[in-house]
Amino acid sequence: MLDPRVILGPADLTAAERERIFEVASRLKSQPNTAPVPSGLRVGALYFNPSLRTRASFEQAAWLVGGTCQTLNAGADTWGLELDPEAVMDGDKVENVAEAARVLGQFFHVLGVRSFRGDGSWEVERTEPVLRRFAQYSNAPIVSLEGTTHHPCQALADHLTMRERLGEDLSGQPVVLRWAWHPRMLPAAVPHSYLLESALAGCDVRVLHPEGYDLDAEILEQARTAARAGGGDVRVSHDPRDVAGARVLYVKSWGPLGQTGPNPDDLRADWQVDMDLVGRTEEAGVMHCLPVRRNVVISGDVLESPHSWVTQQAGNRMWAQAGLLSLLGTKVGVL
Ligand code: CP
């Protein structure tokens, strides 16, 4: 763990912590109508980008562990936040991250922050400058609710879903992380986190993407090392149909790192996901973090088929985050 107060990605949780999270998540999920015992855990969630699942599930997760969660939308229902502590604030930003993080750190035991796709180069953005600034100034532990490089809460839900479907021991399970065409170039936090989370579980991970859409080299190497240690491996292919044997087909679009703009139309036909592709797998479950563009990224018949795990996967956001908040609540001495 880099810093016990900052959860930026899957590697910021130890194997034992991850096991505890899944144990709590599964226990709570097995008794969904049991009212929680009030714990007094106060959770905050600050969003610089839109959200449906993370926002709703993080609030419900706090409730599941007996706490409360307050959601704030930066610049919409808060003052516009300046993220550079050295800035001369004579523009439209009213409050500096230094004061905002110090103040929020007094109100909450745990603070989640979502901030992806900043203005800098990939080399700058991959260091998660916004999330690290909150960690620098806040007394409360910071949880990434999706940063530039990782989406750790999504990864926990993905892992929980695979355990439920394939069994607790995922060592050597053949899984495919596959790029899909999308009209816009999207951030790579989810594919990075799925890659690393499944590698930490020992899966045999195949990453499929068009040339020029490489994932972060350091994360790829980190995942390869983790997978080999757990009985799996990581391999990269540019063949969109290299899915034979896969038990999981994890679908996500991303742009060349740090880039925005439209995706080239000539990739669309080869990289959409349809029943023909699913039929080439070993009865794979189809996973996607959502939101998904139906009949563009994944065909409607795949999403409506028994192959689709996406609803279960999204539902697990709540249970997995309850496990995470239980862990953090214990660390800060509230639970
Ligand atoms: N998967 C996910 O993070 O969804 P939202 O963007 O709706 O939170």
User: Could you write out the DSSP letters of every residue in 46-83?
Assistant: EESS--SHHHHHHHHHHHHTT-EEEEEETTTTSPPEE-
Spatial contact of 238 and 211, defined as CB atoms under 8 Å apart:
yes
Question: What pLDDT does 1 receive?
Answer: 39
The residue ranges of every structural domain in the chain are: 6-150+314-331, 154-311
Question: What pLDDT does 2 receive?
Answer: 41
Mutate to test the pocket of ligand 1, among 146, 250, 316 (most ligand atoms within 8 A of CB): 146
Beta bridge partners of 42: 68
Please state which CATH number belongs to domain 6-150+314-331. 3.40.50.1370
Mutate to test the pocket of ligand 1, among 46, 192, 317 (most ligand atoms within 8 A of CB): 317
- Cβ-based neighbours of 273, under 8 Å, separated by 6 or more: 178, 180, 249, 251, 286, 297, 298, 299, 302
- C-alpha dihedral (175, 250, 256, 154), degrees to nearest 10: -110
Sign of the four-CA dihedral 329, 330, 334, 335: positive
Please state which CATH number belongs to domain 154-311. 3.40.50.1370
Question: What pLDDT does 198 receive?
Answer: 98
6-150+314-331 matches 154-311 in fold: yes
Ligand 1 neighbour 290 (Cβ under 6 A): yes
**What is the 78 CA–ligand 1 centroid distance (Å)?**
21
Integer Cα distance of 151 and 49 in angstroms? 13
Indicate whether 192 pLDDT > 70: yes
Name the residue with tokens 């596959």: 178
Question: What digits encode the pLDDT tens for the residues 95-145?
Answer: 999 999 999 999 999 999 999 977 789 999 999 999 999 999 999 999 999
Ligand 1 neighbour 53 (Cβ under 6 A): yes
The pLDDT confidence band at residue 275, using thresholds 50, 70 and 90, is: very high
Q: Which atom of ligand 1 is nearest to the CA of 290?
A: 1
**What is the 215 CA–ligand 1 centroid distance (Å)?**
20
